[in-house]
Amino acid sequence: MKESYIERFFELTYLIEDYYSGGVRKQHSCIDVNAVVGEIGVEEMKRKNETGIEITDRNETEGKRDKGELIRRREQLEKIAREVNACRKCELAKTRIKPVPGEGVLDPLVMIIGEGPGGDEDRTGRPFVGRAGKYLDKWLNAIGLSREKNCFIGNIVKCRPPNNRDPKPEESNACLPYLLKQIEILQPKAILTVGRISSQILLGRTSGIGSLRGKVYYYMDIPLVPTYHPSGVLRNPSLRPYVWEDLKLLKSVIEK
Ligand code: SF4
């Protein structure tokens, strides 16, 4: 209980920080603060399986999926994780430390897709665990989402491009089937692409993220909202108001 109050205190502190330092008073006030600090009301059982993929079961009282379906999903995701861990289909296999198959719940509201693992992810085998990942967690929390409760996080390429360069077309082409299979299995209610690369690849467009964001698209019949990458926003805080607009758009999509 004590811990929960501390978490709430920090969440509110972060909101206040954004509220004042980002100049986003108007946009921020539209975010449902109850969703930020409220209890989501799910019991969680978290386990790390032998493949390295971390999957959280959601045991919702009004569970949308039956247990058999969730077991089937888990088995399929574990199979993909095993394939990724053994994969050498592109050059990135030579320089990676650990592949990063992705992680989250088996019945996600939102699937978050970035371009590829960075240094922290390469070392741990987990997506978005560095500074940008912690910032992403704040974004998700602000609209009642979290990787532990109702999201799944993955990348276009599962292995780190050296020096965090953009993935080459042949690398993203080689790796994309894993992500497509994950989307097909998980059937999220919406997709949030973070950054230029994942947005361009899934939308099949070449425009910059500044012109792609702010709209809802569809990918495999699933609504897709593109926004900036958290590391880009950390470098350029003036982008914060746009991210909040996109998060509110995403929230409106999943509430439909
Ligand atoms: S990036 Fe993807 S395709 Fe390339 S080696 Fe890693 S898992 Fe295989």
Whether 159 lines ligand 1, by a CB cut-off of 6 Å, is yes
197-240, pLDDT tens digit by residue? 999 999 999 999 999 999 999 999 999 999 999 999 999 999 99
- Gap between the Cα atoms of 68 and 73, Å rounded: 9
pLDDT band for position 66 (cuts 50, 70, 90): confident
- Gap between the Cα atoms of 129 and 98, Å rounded: 13
* Residue having the nearest C-alpha atom to atom 2 of ligand 1: 175
Helix (H, G, I), strand (E, B) or coil at 79: helix
Whether 111 lines ligand 1, by a CB cut-off of 6 Å, is no
- With the C-alpha atoms ordered 151, 52, 231, 179, is the resulting torsion angle positive or negative? negative
Cβ(105)–Cβ(56) under 8 Å?
yes
103-135, pLDDT tens digit by residue? 999 999 999 999 999 999 999 999 999 999 999
Cβ(222)–Cβ(188) under 8 Å?
yes
Q: 40-254 belongs to which homologous superfamily? A: Uracil-DNA glycosylase-like domain (3.40.470.10)
By most ligand atoms within 8 Å of CB, the mutation choice from 157, 168, 181 for ligand 1 is 157
pLDDT at 112: 98
Tokens of 216: 């809802």
